[in-house]
Chains A and B, each alone.
Chain A
Amino acid sequence: MSAAERILSRAVNEITPGSIVNLGIGLPTQVIRYLPDDFDVQIHSENGILGAWKQSPPEAMDPFLIDAAGAYVSLREGASLFDSAVSFALIRRARLDLTMIGAFEVDEQGNLANWKIPGKFSPGIGGAMELAQKTPRIVVLTTHTDKHGRPKILKSCRLPLTAKACVSRIVSDLAVMDVTPQGLVVREKLVEISDADLQARTEAELTFAA
Chain B
Amino acid sequence: MKKNQTLENAIAAIPSGAVVMVGGFGNPGTPFSLINELVRQGQTGLTIIKNDANEPGHGLSRLIENGQVRKLITTHIGLNKGVIELMNQGDLEVAFHPQGMLAEKIRTAGAGSFGFLTDIGIDSEITQPEDLLEWQGQTYKVEMALPAAYALIHAAQADWIGNLVYQGSAINFSPLMAMAANHVIVETPDLGAPGRFKPEHVHTPGAFVDSIVPLESLTSEYGVLEHHVRR
Interface residues of A, Cβ cutoff 8 Å to B: 25, 33, 45-49, 55, 58, 61-66, 68-72, 81-85, 87-89, 91-92, 115, 119-130, 133-134, 160-164
Contacts of B62 in A (CB 8 A): none
- If over half of B's interface residues share one DSSP class (helix, strand or loop), that class is named, otherwise mixed; here it is loop
Contacts of B150 in A (CB 8 A): none
Given known contacts A65-B28, A160-B125, A85 and B74 CB-to-CB distance under 8 angstroms: no
Per-residue CB contact flags for chain B residues 76-87 toward chain A (1 = under 8 Å, else 0) read 111100001001
Kindly identify which residue among A25, A46, A66 contacts B78, using a CB–CB cutoff of 8 Å: A25
In the complex, 30 of the A-B residue pairs with CB atoms within 8 angstroms, ordered by the A residue number, are A25-B76, A48-B171, A55-B229, A55-B230, A63-B225, A65-B28, A70-B228, A71-B228, A71-B230, A81-B168, A84-B51, A85-B104, A88-B101, A89-B100, A92-B100, A115-B96, A121-B84, A122-B84, A122-B88, A124-B76, A124-B77, A124-B94, A125-B96, A125-B98, A125-B126, A126-B75, A126-B78, A130-B120, A160-B124, A164-B123
A10–B222 Cα distance when bound, in Å, is: 36
| Contact between A58 and B224, CB atoms less than 8 A apart | yes
| Tally of chain B residues near chain A (CB < 8 A) | 53
Kindly identify which residue among A33, A48, A72, A163 contacts B25, using a CB–CB cutoff of 8 Å: A48
Quick one: closest A residue to B156, CB to CB? Answer: A64
B223 at the interface (CB under 8 A from A): yes
Quick one: closest A residue to B79, CB to CB? Answer: A70
- If over half of A's interface residues share one DSSP class (helix, strand or loop), that class is named, otherwise mixed; here it is loop
B192 at the interface (CB under 8 A from A): no
Per-residue CB contact flags for chain B residues 164-176 toward chain A (1 = under 8 Å, else 0) read 0001111111111
Least CB distance from B48 to A in Å reads 14
A96–B81 Cα distance when bound, in Å, is: 31
A89–B77 Cα distance when bound, in Å, is: 22
**Which of B28-42 touch A at CB < 8 Å?**
28-29
| Contact between A84 and B99, CB atoms less than 8 A apart | yes
| Contact between A66 and B97, CB atoms less than 8 A apart | no
A123–B229 Cα distance when bound, in Å, is: 22
Contacts of B230 in A (CB 8 A): 33, 55, 71
**Which of B113-148 touch A at CB < 8 Å?**
119-121, 123-126
B20 at the interface (CB under 8 A from A): no
| Contact between B103 and A47, CB atoms less than 8 A apart | no
Kindly identify which residue among B25, B78, B167 contacts A124, using a CB–CB cutoff of 8 Å: B78
Least CB distance from B181 to A in Å reads 15
Given known contacts A48-B172, A123-B77, A163-B124, A72 and B228 CB-to-CB distance under 8 angstroms: yes
